[in-house]
């Protein structure tokens, strides 16, 4: 059961991403946390994802997410926005989804920002 608004958990999680706060991310992940990237590759478990985030931030030290829209239904949050990788890739449109359980992020999934996905997630 979630006591907090799931959108607030997502905003906190993203703040930790943007500040490269691995400890903060860890504090917001369930033990069975799952990350699914756009290609469908999956990282499973909190422990594995802590190491994954450390490596990711080393590879992409300027990475940041900007959210332009958040909507939720129950424990699922849908986010529209963009990712900033570097000066060479300053704008990368993205749709994220998050599943929140017990005020923690159980799943963080990255989707292509396509018309089909916007329809699927009711972002039109």
pLDDT digits (tens, 9 = 90+) for 102-118: 999 999 999 999 999 99
Residue 70 · residue 100 · CB < 8 Å: no
Question: Residue 16's pLDDT is what?
Answer: 98
Question: Residue 27's pLDDT is what?
Answer: 98
Question: Residue 1's pLDDT is what?
Answer: 78
3-class SS of residue 20: coil
Question: Residue 30's pLDDT is what?
Answer: 98
- What's the CATH number of domain 6-120, 3.30.450.40, 3.10.450.50, 3.50.30.10, 1.10.3470.10? 3.10.450.50
Residues of the chain scoring pLDDT < 70:
none
Question: Residue 124's pLDDT is what?
Answer: 81
Question: Residue 54's pLDDT is what?
Answer: 98
């Amino acid at each position: 059961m979630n006591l907090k608004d799931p959108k607030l958990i997502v905003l906190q999680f993203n703040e930790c991403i943007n500040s490269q706060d691995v400890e903060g991310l860890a504090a917001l992940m369930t033990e069975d946390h799952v990350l699914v990237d756009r290609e469908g590759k999956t990282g499973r478990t909190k422990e594995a994802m802590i190491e994954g985030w450390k490596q990711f931030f080393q590879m992409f030290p300027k990475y940041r997410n900007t959210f332009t829209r958040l909507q939720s239904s129950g424990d699922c949050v849908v986010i529209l926005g963009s990712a900033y990788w570097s000066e060479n890739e300053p704008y990368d449109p993205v749709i994220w989804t998050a599943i929140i359980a017990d005020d923690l992020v159980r799943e963080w999934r990255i989707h292509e920002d396509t018309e089909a996905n916007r329809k699927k997630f009711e972002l039109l």
